[in-house]
Amino acid sequence: MWTYILRRLLMMIPTLFGVTIVSFGIMKLAPGDPLLLQLSSSGMAGQSGQTREAFLVQKRDLKLDKPVLVNFRYFTDYRDELRLCAHYASLSLDDVRKEVAQLSAPDIDATLRPRRDFLRHEFRRQLGIKDFDQRLQNPEQQDGVARAILVLTQLYFEDVGANAVPSAMELLDTADETPDGMRLKVGLVRLLNGMVTDPFRYTYSNPPTDAETPQIVATWSIWWSRDQAQFPPIDPDRLEILRKNFADMVAEPSKEKLFEILEAFDRDDMRFFAERLLGPEPNAKTPSLQERFIASLTLSAYVSKPLKVDVAVDATAEEIDQVAANWKSHYDSNKARYQIPLPNKLGRIVTDTQYAHTVWRLVTFNFGRSALRTREPVSEKIWDAVKVSAPLMLLAELLIYGISVPIGVVCAVRRGRVADRLITLSLFMLYSIPSFVAGMLMLLFLCYGDYLKLFPTMGLHASNADSLAFGQWLLDYLWHATLPVVCLSLFSLAAMSMQSRASMLDVLGQDYIRTARAKGLSERVVVFKHALRNSLIPVITLFSNFLPALLGGSVLIEYLFNIPGMGRLSWASIEQKDYPTMMALIYIDAIVVMLSILATDLLYVVADPRISYSGRGEG
């Protein structure tokens, strides 16, 4: 038995692997990018920084910026592509229009020829446009080409991401040695903003973690080393007040009161908070995590992202140099992130891809966050839906099995009589009515009040359910759940009853049943002791649908009765192209189906002791 169970569990591994390949392939072939659909046209053009940044965070969280199956980006030198894209990133739209006119000339100089070849390749690769040269020659389309160039150069290094940062920093270090160094710096800085989102971290997440401390301390250390002279020493009386308020903030659990205390400070007090964050005072203990959290929160409120990471096309040389220095500081403090050892690079050829990250999330059951704007954790979304659907499906299955098996026995025992004919006719009528049609009819006749108003029209609880005692809450739930459970049960109840009847009739015709009757056993003993148990085998086979139904729910019924369960979540994730949720649902459904099949096999042994798996896999 245990050998058989182990074999079945091991067989699930290649099956689940195949499920991930098929589902991943289908999603990659599906038209439309779930993130591009959410991105506004202004954000796409890079004119809405906040929108674009949110887009990049989602894209990189889903690993959609990685190659699909194989990743050789860690071995690629991007310096030539960076020079070309930095050139266009440093230009205004009018300047790009002028260059497009030059690119359309029959004879162009050697400087423009590599740019035109690069653009022709990217128009074909990213946009699927094969007639780039024809569009370039058409004056009416040159404006569109100019706008597309700005977008393409931005998208190119957004997809490459951190892999091109070492090459970009190398060019940034040597930019002053080139004839057009300032323009190259502007372009590189603007490209770096697409490669790295939030290069500097100023505050902790909530709740804070120790792992965030090095990056936050490094960020504020860079700022403090430059601007420390702007903040005069704090006089002793003010210092005592700050210490008291700081201690109150550390101990305060309420966010509202915390921000009330925060409003009592001014910018000159930031020396105190910088010293609390970056290191202990003489003869003082090392700051705790909560103290650093409060200090970083206060600094962020009064200093507000002091390290600039982007520049305008027409920025001054001083502004450009300052931002370039900020990027160099970021790179120096994160070299371990960008300078990867060769063995790690070799491993990432197959592990740092879209498919590998997807499989890892599924294997570890870390499904990530939803692709929707809400950015909810996928596990929480699924768990919330399971808590709604599982009780409904459990009630429906109990109703199905509790009624269908007795009905099947009665019809089989009374075969051909009036009861059997009436019940069979009723079962065929129920079988022919789709569940959603039954739901609409029940809403019309029993809920809306045109005929009767016996049940609520939507939801599983009344508005005041939270204030009810447990007994009243349970009655309220059952009242709301009655119609959805009945609708979910009708079709399966009819099918299960007919299956139970057919199975019972087959068993009642066996020789050992005739022998039992010939021995003088009562009909009750013959039916319930000798026949019923053996007739359950086909019925148990249908149990393999039980657990998937428990999680799957019913899309139409949940929509009809406004129930936020698994069926509705599945449909919404498909409709909204929420890939992480879709992949998680497919993966969980596959596991549940295989476990339910295994459970069905084990129930065979319970129903019929003649069935045994003890010999499977031995010898």
pLDDT at residue number 264: 81
Per residue in 41-74, pLDDT tens?
333 333 334 456 667 777 787 788 888 889 999 9
What would the pLDDT profile of 535-573 be if each residue is shown by its tens digit?
Answer: 888 888 877 776 676 566 578 888 888 888 888 888 888
pLDDT at 38 over 50: no
pLDDT, the chain, mean: 84
Q: Which residues pair with residue 377 across a beta bridge?
A: 369
The closest alpha carbon to 412, from 499, 514, 541, belongs to: 499
Looking at residue 281, its pLDDT comes to: 58
**Tokens at residue 437, please?**
């049609």
- What CA–CA distance (Å, rounded) separates 606 from 543? 14
> What is the per-residue pLDDT for 47?
38
pTM reported for the whole predicted model: 0.71
Question: What is the identity of the amino acid at 210?
Answer: D
Checking if the pLDDT of 336 tops 60, the result is: yes
Distance CA 365, CA 58 (A): 19
Q: Tens digits of per-residue pLDDT, 364-403?
A: 888 888 877 777 888 888 899 888 888 888 888 888 889 9
Angle between helices 255-262 and 289-303 (to 10 degrees): 50
What is the rounded CA–CA span in Å between residue 9 and residue 17? 13
Residue 377's contacts (CB-CB under 8 Å, 6 or more residues apart) are 367, 368, 369, 370
| Model confidence pLDDT, tens digit, residues 592-613 | 888 888 888 888 887 777 777 6
Q: Are 45 and 150 in contact (CB under 8 A)?
A: yes
Q: How confident is the model at residue 584 (pLDDT cuts 50, 70, 90)?
A: confident
Mean pLDDT of 129-139: 84
Name 38's Cβ contacts closer than 8 Å, sequence gap at least 6: 55, 58, 372, 373
Per DSSP, the three-state class of 377 is strand
Give me the pLDDT at residue 543, please.
75
Sketch out the chain's domains with CATH numbers: 39-198+332-363 (no CATH), 210-306 (no CATH), 388-556+591-607 (1.10.3720.10)
pLDDT above 80 for 126: no
Residue 167 scores a pLDDT above 80: yes
More confident residue, 337 or 606: 337
Q: What is the pLDDT of residue 614?
A: 66
Give residues with Cβ within 8 angstroms of 379, minimum separation 6.
365, 366, 367, 584
